[in-house]
Structure 1
Amino acid sequence: SEDVVDRSNEIVSRLRQVAQRGDPSFIHWLSQLPMFMTVRVGPMRLGIVHGDVHALSGWALSVEALEPLDQALRSSLGCDNDPYFVPSSEEDVQSWLSSTRCDALASTHTC
């Protein structure tokens, strides 16, 4: 929704302001971090992303995007009528797991 985008843009703006005041060596270290990583948890290979498998700002793995869609949740988050929203099917998730060779994907967002 527009509110989510506005909030996300505000967070990015504030993060940039903080980064400008930060220690340049720390900022450099942050800039070198990978877009994704994999770890082993016991026998499982876990993919960790911020966003989704396609983009740092992606929402394809968000709870409101995963099918079966939870309409009450989507309505409470204000994304039930979002014309740009594309749900992620179980087949999509299985394809991402296969292409990343992961047993599971963990995703998070700042906002």
Structure 2
Amino acid sequence: MSFLSMIFGQVESSIAGIRQVVQTVEQAALAPIAAMAQQVVGGAWKGDGADAFVNQLMSIATPKLQKMNQAATLYHTNIGKSRDTIQQADQKVAGLAKNLEEPFNFFK
């Protein structure tokens, strides 16, 4: 087991944490905002204030939350790609080390 393989569990835990944040934003913020806007549009509140409220939700709050989620998803994806690259490099180095060791096995 290489040193790098010991940290892969921590990386996986970080990736899972980021994924959880994305899901939480979707469930705890985006879904309720969409529901509120739908209630107002459905007639729960009428008038210029209602229109302004829905406009603010849909043009400011929702896009900012979606942008935050997209950034977290990109971060999550890039960490995963980095982990994969490091794992591949670690496996190649382990293979090279094993190949270097084999010629000297006759001394054992």
TM-score scaled by length of structure 1: 0.28
Larger strand proportion, structure 1 or 2?
A: 1
Larger helix proportion, structure 1 or 2?
A: 2
Higher relative contact order (CA closer than 8 Å, sequence separation 6+) = 2
